Copies of this chain bind each other. A is one copy, B any other.
Amino acid sequence: MSSADLPFKTISVVGLGLIGGSIALAVRERWPAMRITGVDRKAVLAHALGGGAIDRAVDSAADACEADLIVLAAPVRQNLKLLGEVAQRLPATTVVTDVGSTKRGIVDAAAALACTSFVGGHPIGGAEQGGFGFARPDLFRHRPWIFTPSASTPAPALERLFEFARGVGARPSTMSADDHDRVMAFLSHLPQLTASALMEIIGSSAGHHALRLAGRGLVDTTRLASSPAETWRDVCATNDDAIGQALDVLIARLSELRADLRGGDTVNRVFTDAARWRAELMSGRD
Contact = CB atoms under 8 A, between A and B. Distances in A.
Contacts of A247: 254-255, 257-258
Contact of A210 (B187, B225, B246, B268): B187
Nearest to A285: B219
19 contacts: A124-B214, A183-B210, A186-B201, A186-B205, A187-B210, A187-B211, A188-B217, A191-B202, A193-B257, A196-B271, A197-B274, A201-B253, A203-B274, A211-B280, A219-B285, A221-B224, A222-B274, A228-B271, A254-B254
A229 B191 contact: no
Interface string A213-248: 111111111111111110011001100100110111
A224 B254 CA distance: 16
Given A202-B186, A225-B274, A124 B213 contact: yes
A92 interface: no
A222 B278 contact: yes
Contact of A194 (B144, B211, B219, B221): B221
Given A188-B218, A198-B250, A226-B274, 5 more contacts: A126-B217, A194-B198, A220-B223, A225-B278, A248-B258
Contact of A205 (B212, B223, B249, B276): B249
Q: Please tell me how many copies of the chain the complex holds.
A: 2
A21 B244 CA distance: 44
Contacts of A276: 203
Contacts of A186: 201-202, 205-206, 210
A270 B124 CA distance: 24
A279 interface: yes
Contacts of A134: none
Nearest to A191: B221
Interface string A63-101: 000000000000000000000000000000000000000
A135 to B, nearest CB: 16
Contacts of A159: none
Nearest to A266: B236
A125 interface: yes
A137 B226 CA distance: 32
A226 B146 contact: no
Contact of A243 (B146, B251, B261): B261
Contacts of A157: none
B200 A274 contact: yes
Nearest to A193: B257
B251 A251 contact: yes
Nearest to A192: B217
A136 to B, nearest CB: 13
Contact of A275 (B125, B217, B226, B257): B226
